[in-house]
Amino acid sequence: MREFSYRDGSLWAEQVSLQHIAERFGTPTYVYSRAHFERQYLNYAEALGDHPGLICYAVKANSNLGILSLLAQLGAGFDIVSGGELERVLLAGGDPSRVVFSGVGKTANEMRRALEVGVHCFNIESEAEVNRLEQVAADGETVAPISIRVNPDVDAQTHPYISTGLKENKFGIAIDQAVEVYQRAATSKHLNIIGVDCHIGSQLTEVAPFLDALDRLLVLVDQLAELGIQLEHLDLGGGLGVRYRGEEPPPVKDYLAEVHKRIGERKLSLILEPGRSIAANGGALLTQVEYLKRTDEHNFAIVDAAMNDNLRPALYQAWQDIVPVTPNESESTLWDIVGPVCETGDFLGKNRSQSLKEGQLLAMLSTGAYGFTMSSNYNSRCRAAEVLVDGDKTYLVRARETFADLVRGERTVPEKT
């Protein structure tokens, strides 16, 4: 979290103090550092080097238009999983020919739109989807570029909810059935087979599971070549982890060096779909302590951000650092930092050693990925504002929701007749 650092006794994002952001935009507010997103993306682009390919940022990690636009300006590709994400990419100036369309449940409408704008590839997750896409492409008198998402059955050794490459998961096509599905797709004049993809899970802190998956995919690539199905690209998905609390994920360049070695002489371009490793440490959730409440069992600090703003602690028991915006010298005690939502699971952090006062500002770090995008209106809470810092400039990239936003589209009903 290089771009978030203390200066003159207070926490800053790049050249802007978080205190100033809270005063100007209120709390809770997500604050993002442009420099972080750019550096992390360019890290991937540089590690790819001269090898042909695309870095397709996984939009689900953080889909704010401000973030997508800055990545589009750098020439990024995008990995999308819905029509909504596609429209966001287009609105942000992203190039559709650099988009890969993932996801197990693409609707015919979503397929039509993606064909119309010309996405680079559909990552197909089932035989039923092959049939549907073929039909949609035939109806539109066009040809759909496809890759088959293969489930390589490797253990990503991460949290079970974010592990996706095991046989028991709903994702992809079992690797031992893949040849059959490729052969079926090859019979269609409305499908153009261009690649193979996989995504084995998220927040991986070792390279080994990625390489196990890659080895299995390469066996398949060679097998297909013998059958006359020549692939153009290999898409290894996303999944590289970040440091939340002492993890030491491998550098991108080490990972890609191993990948390049294994691809060897094969003429395969490379696609990656990183989300978290670009976004997570580029964001902080700014929140204010509302009440301090001491019981016999626990000290609770009730803050104005909650599980509806950041679901990760409640859903995955995830740890994200929570730090004071302006630290004080008083003695620390252990606090459960909780939100106002009526759920026991509504916590941001437990047993955090802090010296807290009512009214004080806290920053929950490493929340640039899967933070705002997983937020909801539970308890009729308006979603947080989002602010992007660029050097000494701040951009409000999403205004705080209002009550009018909350009830937009809802209606009361007349009295019962």
Residues of each annotated binding site for pyridoxal 5'-phosphate: 239, 273-276, 370
For position 162 contacting ligand LLP by CB under 6 A, the verdict is: yes
Sign of CA dihedral 139, 140, 143, 147: negative
203: left (phi over 0), alpha (psi -120 to 50) or beta: left
Instruction: Give the total of residues touching ligand LLP (CB under 6 A).
Output: 20
Q: Which segment (138-146, 184-192, 235-243, 394-402) binds ligand LLP by CB under 6 A?
A: 235-243
Burial class of residue 10, CB neighbours in 10 A (0-12, 13-18, 19+): middle
Whole-angstrom distance, CA of residue 268 vs CA of residue 235: 10
Reduce the DSSP state of residue 48 to 3 states and report it: helix
For position 165 contacting ligand LLP by CB under 6 A, the verdict is: no
Residue 306 beta carbon to ligand LLP: minimum distance, rounded to whole angstroms: 16
- Cβ proximity to ligand LLP: between 273 and 336 the closer is 273
* HSE (side-chain half, CA atoms, 13 Å) at 35: 14
- Cβ proximity to ligand LLP: between 123 and 288 the closer is 123
Nearest to 331 by CA among 310, 354, 350: 354
Residue 283 beta carbon to ligand LLP: minimum distance, rounded to whole angstroms: 12
- Cβ proximity to ligand LLP: between 191 and 204 the closer is 204
Q: Which segment (5-13, 83-91, 269-277, 387-395) binds ligand LLP by CB under 6 A?
A: 269-277
Residue 169 beta carbon to ligand LLP: minimum distance, rounded to whole angstroms: 11
For position 244 contacting ligand LLP by CB under 6 A, the verdict is: no
Q: Which segment (215-223, 273-281, 285-293, 379-387) binds ligand LLP by CB under 6 A?
A: 273-281
For ligand LLP, what does the binding mask look like between residues 62 and 101, x meaning CB under 6 A? -----------------x----------------------
Task: Note the Cα 366 to chain centre separation in Å.
Answer: 12
DSSP letter for 98, please: G
Residue 203 beta carbon to ligand LLP: minimum distance, rounded to whole angstroms: 6
List 56, 121, 342, 382, catalytic entry: 342
Task: Enter the tokens of residue 335.
Answer: 């606090």
* Binding-site sequence positions for substrate: 276, 312, 316, 343, 370
For position 237 contacting ligand LLP by CB under 6 A, the verdict is: yes
For position 313 contacting ligand LLP by CB under 6 A, the verdict is: no
Active site residue 342: yes
- Cβ proximity to ligand LLP: between 221 and 369 the closer is 369
For ligand LLP, what does the binding mask look like between residues 171 and 210, x meaning CB under 6 A? ----------------------------x--xx-------
E strand intervals along 280-416: 283-294, 299-303, 322-324, 333-338, 347-354, 361-364, 385-390, 393-398
Whole-angstrom distance, CA of residue 374 vs CA of residue 62: 9
Q: Which segment (63-71, 114-122, 218-226, 272-280) binds ligand LLP by CB under 6 A?
A: 272-280
* Binding-site sequence positions: 239, 273-276, 312, 316, 343, 370
Whole-angstrom distance, CA of residue 153 vs CA of residue 213: 8
* Strand bridging mode 29-33 / 121-124: unpaired
Task: Enter the tokens of residue 395.
Answer: 């951009």
For position 352 contacting ligand LLP by CB under 6 A, the verdict is: no
Whole-angstrom distance, CA of residue 384 vs CA of residue 381: 9
- Pick the binder of ligand LLP from 88, 216, 312, 398 (CB under 6 A): 312
* HSE (side-chain half, CA atoms, 13 Å) at 223: 15
Nearest to 156 by CA among 233, 241, 256: 241
Between the two ends of the chain, the Cα-to-Cα distance in Å is 60
For position 274 contacting ligand LLP by CB under 6 A, the verdict is: yes
Task: Note the Cα 315 to chain centre separation in Å.
Answer: 15
- Applying CB under 6 A, which residues contact ligand LLP? 58, 61, 79, 102, 162, 199, 202-203, 237-239, 273-277, 312, 316, 370, 374
Name the residues annotated as catalytic.
Answer: 342
